[in-house]
Every structure is written in C-alpha cells, then in structure tokens.
Amino acid sequence: MDLQASTPETIPVNQPVVPEEAKRLVMGSLEAGWLSSAGPMVAEFESAFADRIGARYAVATPSGTAALHLSLSALDLGPDDEVIVPDFTMFATVAAVLYCGARPVCVDVDPETYTIDPAAVRAALTPKTRAIVAVHIYGHSADMEPLRAIAEEHRLALVEDAAEAHGARYRGQNCGTLGDLAAFSFYGNKIISTGEGGMLVTSDALLAEKARSLGDMAHRPGARFSHDQLGYSYRMGSLQAALGLGQLAHLDEFLARKRWMAASYAERLGRFSGLHLPITRPWAENVHWMYAVRVTENFPLTRNELGSALKQRGIDTRDFFKPCSSQSALTDRYGPQRECAVSKRIAETGLYLPSGLALTAEQLGRVCDEIERLACR
C-alpha cells in the first residue's frame, strides 16, 4: 500500500470558528479605544460567563494556567503543602502547583475516562495534603462526588481544572461549579477561544476577592501602588474579552457541533476493535473537546504509525499528553515519582483526530476514509 499518498489540503487537528458577532465586538472595542483590561468589556465577559456556568463570581485571566495558579494561590498553598493531581493531564496543571511552591502528588486515572481515580486519591493522602485538583479531561468530567466526599472528610480544597470542559456537566450540574474554585482556558483550540485567555470561577466571595487582588498585582486596598504581598499581572485585555463574549453567545451551537463530530466518528470507526473510542459515563455530559482515541494491539498500525500515515495524507493529529510524573521539571525537584501504570499506557497509545469547530462533514469523512483504508490494508 502506498503510504506516501498525497492530498490536496491539510486537515488541521483543531481550527476554531469566530462568529460575526465576536468580530463586531472586537472591532467595537478597538474603535472605542479599549485595549487593556480597563473598560467595560472584561467585566461584561466575566458576568456573562459566571451566569452561564452558574457561579457567583468570575475573574478573567490571560491564560487557563494563570487561572489555575490564581485558584491555588487564593488557597494560600506553600512549600509545606501537597496537592494531589492526576498523572494524565497537561503539565500546566502540575506547573500551577509548582508556581505556589507546593508539591504535586501525581496519582493514576480511570482507564476509560482518563480522569483522576478517587481510590488513588485516597491512597495518596498524607498529613501534608491540602488540596485536590480534578481535571475534566478531553471534555469528560471527573467523578466529583467521591472526590468531594474525600475533600470534606479531610478538610481539603477541591479545585476543578475545567480547561477543556466548557459546557460539560456532571450529574446535571455544570463543570466549574463542583469544587471550591475552577479554572477554564480560552486558548486557541478551546471550545470558547480568545486566542489566549482563561477564567477563574467560584461562588466563594472571599476567594473571589483574593484571587482578583492577586491577579491585579495585589495593590493595598485604598492605596494603589502599595503592595503588602506578591501579586501577579494576570489581567485579560479588552480585545480578548470581546472575542470571548461574542463566542459565549454561540456556546450551545458549538457544543452541538462537537457532539455531532463525536457521533459521526463513532459511527464510522466503531467497527474497528483496535481503536478504543471515547466513552461517556452515565453521570456525565461529555462535550468532546477533542475526539481522543487509543490505538491498541488489535489495530494493524501502532499509534505512531497511524499518526505518521495520516500526516502523509494531509491529516493532522496530536499525541496524548505525557504523564506528569515522567517530566524532568517535576522529578528534578522531587525525585522519581510513583508509577501510574494506567496513565503511562494511555499516554503511549492515544491520539486525537481533527476535532475543531471548523471541521466539515467532508473533512470528517475523509479522515474516516483514510483510517479505514489503513485498517483494512
């Protein structure tokens, strides 16, 4: 079979959609001269996002990582504290813990949803544990009820990393309202995108006030440019807020499109036993941020071979995240980490297929056609 076959166009793994409404809001902000975090647009975006999620407060940030860092900083985490995190997640989750000077403790994940395993969390508890970070991975929520039970029993904070879970729900409740604080990302590949950007949400007034102050350089109340503690320049600009506000109005349309992609992929690829397709637990409403598959031993190609063959055919893919416990930025500080066998296996076999909001039915069909040809060669 010719593995060098060429195609007329490249299908990107994730291409966003920018509605006309978002473009008008951005131009309006430009014409009004609002470029920085000053002006009405940031506050409007924060208010609209909080309302949509069902939280009382929202604080806009320049990235999802900044939102997560602010969340942990608002909890006063420091060098003597441990924070339990899933081993299978983007390293930004662990980095936010390290920024606080606290120690990340990586634990294994569920083999089907790839989200943090509550039993592994309980086994990792120590007297130094202060918080749990639950990541809603690839648009599927973590199992929050047992995590909340553990947090309440041991008086721990529970933080949601909801970077990939705009609109996802757990037992009928919006992701982002299930813990003490939550962090969303609006990076260019997210369901709502501002290019770069993020949002902290909470219903705790004290945490919201502290996070907002820390994110705006922690000026002393009533005495601007006087600083009693270290803050951060974590403000979102008006143009990003305008773009986000315009996209937020179309979130339901975006979610419907994501679910159409997932259903279409499942219909075409479900017959191949060598492809492990995403699942959705009965208690979750999956938004399928990316259509994430794993390539098992029953498939005629390995994960790397499949990704390479699709690339040669003009179809872009991305490998899964690498386990956080294997990252030198963590092991150089704290030495070898506990082995997380499930996370390791997932990382070695997973990739995601083109899943951007701009993906057309024709492009999706072409992706499936090429996979079928490779599977049946």
State pLDDT tens for residues 82-103.
999 999 999 999 999 999 999 9
- Both 260 and 242 in one domain: the answer is no
> What pLDDT is stored for residue 2 in this prediction?
32
**What is the distance between the alpha carbons of residues 276 and 293, in angstroms, rounded to a whole number?**
6
Residue type, 297: E
> For the segment 220-231, what is each residue's pLDDT rounded down to a tens digit?
887 788 888 889
> For the segment 339-376, what is each residue's pLDDT rounded down to a tens digit?
899 999 999 999 999 999 999 999 999 999 999 999 98
Two tokens at 123? 């086994």
Boundary of a domain, candidates 200, 223, 248? 248
- Both 244 and 264 in one domain: the answer is no
Look up the pTM and report it.
Answer: 0.95
- Residue 32 included in any domain: yes
Contacts of 342 (CB under 8 A, 6+ apart): 88, 108, 109, 110, 111, 117
The angle at the Cα of 99, spanning 95 to 104, to the nearest 5 degrees, equals 55
**What is the distance between the alpha carbons of residues 241 and 249, in angstroms, rounded to a whole number?**
13
**What is the distance between the alpha carbons of residues 305 and 109, in angstroms, rounded to a whole number?**
26
**Among 160, 150, 82, 173, CA closest to 115:** 160
> What pLDDT is stored for residue 170 in this prediction?
98
- Residue 12 included in any domain: no
Task: Say if residue 30's pLDDT is above 80.
Answer: yes
- Both 221 and 269 in one domain: the answer is no
What's the CATH code of the domain at 261?
3.90.1150.10
Question: Cα 247 vs. chain centroid, distance in angstroms?
Answer: 17
- Both 126 and 183 in one domain: the answer is yes
How many domains does the chain divide into?
2
Task: Say if residue 3's pLDDT is above 60.
Answer: no
- Both 63 and 200 in one domain: the answer is yes
Distances 248 to 23, 152, 301 between C-alpha atoms, Å: 13, 33, 40
Domain range spanning residue 240? 20-248
- Residue 10 included in any domain: no
Average pLDDT, the chain: 95
Contacts of 214 (CB under 8 A, 6+ apart): 70, 73, 74, 229, 231, 232, 234
Across the range 139-145, mean pLDDT stands at 98
**Among 159, 376, 189, CA closest to 269:** 376
> For the segment 174-205, what is each residue's pLDDT rounded down to a tens digit?
999 999 999 999 999 999 999 999 999 999 99
Task: Say if residue 7's pLDDT is above 60.
Answer: no
